[in-house]
Every structure is written in C-alpha cells, then in structure tokens.
C-alpha cells in the first residue's frame, strides 16, 4: 500500500447529526448541557472519593478512574462538534481526525476494561469477603488500571496505524459528528480487507472478551448470593452490584445497538444518532447511577460541601477584620 496518496488529503467534513440550519442552535444547547453535566458529575465523583478517606477502597478507586475516563471520553468528540456548530464550519483536518479517532478508541477501550475490573472487584468482595483486602491490595489495583491503559493504548494505536495506511479522496464527507473508525474505513478508496480484519478481531477480543469476563463474574456472584442464608444478606450483597450492573447493561446495550442498527438499516444518520447514546448519554448518566443509590458518595459530598461552607465564612471574616 502506497502512503503517497495520503498526503493529498488535507481535511474531512463532519456532517454532524443534522444539516438543518434551524436545528443547529437546539443541538448546540442540548449537547453543551449534556457535556457540562457529564464533566461536573464525574468531577464530583472524583472529588468525593479523593477527599474522603473512608472511600479510599478498591471499589471507589476504580470508580474515580472510570469517572476520569468518562470525562476524557466525551471531551474527544463533543467540544469539536460544538466548535463546528458555533463557527458554522464542518471541517476537521486529516491529522485532527486521526487523533480524534485514536483517543476515542483509547477511552472507549478503557471504559470497557474498567467495567470488567469493577466486575472482578464485586466478585472478590461477595464470593471471597474474608480475603478481599488481601487479594485487592493497592499494588494489584494499580496494576489492573495500568494494564487497562496499556491494552487500550496498544489497540487504539494499532487501529490508527491501520487507518493511516488507507487512501481517501480530498474533502471527504463523513456522515457523523466525529471521526468514527467504522465510518472512516467504509469511506476509504483503497483496499480495506486487512483493516477490516484487524477491526473485527479487535472488537471480538477487546469487546467480547471483557464482556464474557463480566458475565462469568456475575454468574459466580449470583451463585454465591443464592447460597446465602438470610434475605438481609442477599439484599445487602446484591445492592452493592446494582449500580455497576446498571452501567454495564446500558454501556453494552447502547454500544451493540449502534452497530446492529447500522448493519440492519445501512443508514449513516441513524448510526450517528444511536452513537449519541453510548458516547454522550452513558458517561452523563454514570455519576447519577453511582451516586443516587450510594450513601457513601452522598455522605462524602455532603461532608465536602459542608467543610467548604464552614471555611468560607471564616475566610471572609478574616478579610473583614483586616
């Protein structure tokens, strides 16, 4: 494959969710609101975990990492979309498109791996409660997060290199609001067989593999809960998994739904609209899912804002006295 054809490509055109001028202000306001809610909600989770020593446990360590990844996940796509709407421009440079695709794959892979790690954490906590702190020591927790980063980085780098081998026509229109891997491969004007093989292999290995691990972990969890003697113990054990199970269900159902809808309808518009669910809506809902049913998170946030409210009058009083 010759790389010389790639140099002719200067930029792509992101068509977005709709080309109707009347809908652009509505789309801008809606996505700006969702982006701000996502960033603020996940920052509050990180703040609560870092400020409260009672939350310095493996479960909340993984949760704070997931919140950080969700912020980065949405930041790779939404700001560029908002900028294009505001400037009434659809252009994105070739380098910018490849960079956006690379980081999107990195953070969606990290989301996938961290959800798997959190399922393993629940498995150890429920099935081996007496050995939980021994098994889930800080060294292992750090190692699991590091491996997740390395695996996701290698996968996104490989996919990006495969796309770099492809040739594209100048000023190519991408019927999406970001540079999505599948869309770019479909629009290439060179042979995509090898790229498709790598893409499908990566999807099966890094998408299906973690999902199978999550299913295995929850099969063991359900089996362990069924063996518990009292209903109170069963409820307490199951309640610790509800938030994670809700996020996993929403993440995988929306992600799979995107690719099934694009495969069945062959409509780029429906694919772009469906992509909003797992690229924007899921990261926005994660903080609500984890905080609404979690008394520890609520208590930590109340303690943090209570301390901030106490410190503020003191500071203001000192300034007034001086």
Structural domain containing residue 89? 8-294
Mean pLDDT of 58-81: 94
Task: Provide the number of structural domains found in the chain.
Answer: 1
pLDDT recorded at residue 168: 85
pLDDT recorded at residue 5: 42
Q: Which carries the bigger pLDDT value, residue 180 or residue 10?
A: 180
Residue 303 lies in a domain: no
pLDDT in tens, 83-96: 999 998 889 999 99
pLDDT in tens, 104-154: 999 999 999 999 999 999 999 999 988 898 999 999 999 999 999 999 999
Tokens 């593999």 -> residue? 209
Least confident interval from 39-48, 172-181, 301-310: 301-310
Q: Which carries the bigger pLDDT value, residue 305 or residue 28?
A: 28
Whole-Å CA distances, 249 to 2, 246, 252: 43, 5, 6
Distance between CA atoms of 13 and 67, rounded to whole angstroms?
Answer: 31
Phi, psi of 234 (to 5 degrees): -65, -45
pLDDT recorded at residue 278: 78
What mean pLDDT value characterizes the chain? 85
Residue 230 lies in a domain: yes
- Position 231 pLDDT exceeds 80: yes
Residue 97 lies in a domain: yes
257: domain CATH number is 1.20.1070.10
pLDDT recorded at residue 256: 72
pLDDT in tens, 276-310: 887 888 899 888 888 776 778 888 888 877 765 66
Portion of the chain with pLDDT greater than 70, in percent: 87
* Helix extents (H) in 93-230: 94-127, 132-135, 138-164, 181-186, 193-203, 209-226
Helix 282-292 and helix 24-51, axial crossing angle in degrees, nearest 10: 40
SS3 category, 272: helix
């Amino acid at each position: 494959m010759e790389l010389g054809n790639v140099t002719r490509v200067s930029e792509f055109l992101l068509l977005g969710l709709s080309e109707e001028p009347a809908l652009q202000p509505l789309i801008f306001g809606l996505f700006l609101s969702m982006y701000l809610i996502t960033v603020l909600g996940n920052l509050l989770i990180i703040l609560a975990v870092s400020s409260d020593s009672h939350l310095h446990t493996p479960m909340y360590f993984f949760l704070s990492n997931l919140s950080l990844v969700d912020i980065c996940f949405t930041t790779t796509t939404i700001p560029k979309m908002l900028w294009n709407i505001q400037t009434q421009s659809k252009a994105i440079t070739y380098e910018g498109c490849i960079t956006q695709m690379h980081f999107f794959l990195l953070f969606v892979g990290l989301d996938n791996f961290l959800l798997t790690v959190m399922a393993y954490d629940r498995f150890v906590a429920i099935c081996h409660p007496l050995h939980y702190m021994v098994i889930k020591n800080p060294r292992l927790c750090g190692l699991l997060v590091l491996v997740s980063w390395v695996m996701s980085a290698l996968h996104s780098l490989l996919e990006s290199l495969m796309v770099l081998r492809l040739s594209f026509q100048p000023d190519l229109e991408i019927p999406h609001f970001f540079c999505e891997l599948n869309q770019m491969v479909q629009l290439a004007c060179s042979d995509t067989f090898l790229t498709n093989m790598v893409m499908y292999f990566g999807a099966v290995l890094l998408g299906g593999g973690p999902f199978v691990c999550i299913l295995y972990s929850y099969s063991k969890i359900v089996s362990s809960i069924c063996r518990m003697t009292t209903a109170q113990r069963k409820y307490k054990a199951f309640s610790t998994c509800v938030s994670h199970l809700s996020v996993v269900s929403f993440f995988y159902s929306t992600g799979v739904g995107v690719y099934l809808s694009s495969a069945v309808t062959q409509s780029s518009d429906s694919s772009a609209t469906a992509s909003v669910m797992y690229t924007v809506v899921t990261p926005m809902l994660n903080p609500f899912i984890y905080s609404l049913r979690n008394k520890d998170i609520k208590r930590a946030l109340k303690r943090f804002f209570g301390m901030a409210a106490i410190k503020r009058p003191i500071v203001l009083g000192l300034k007034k006295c001086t």
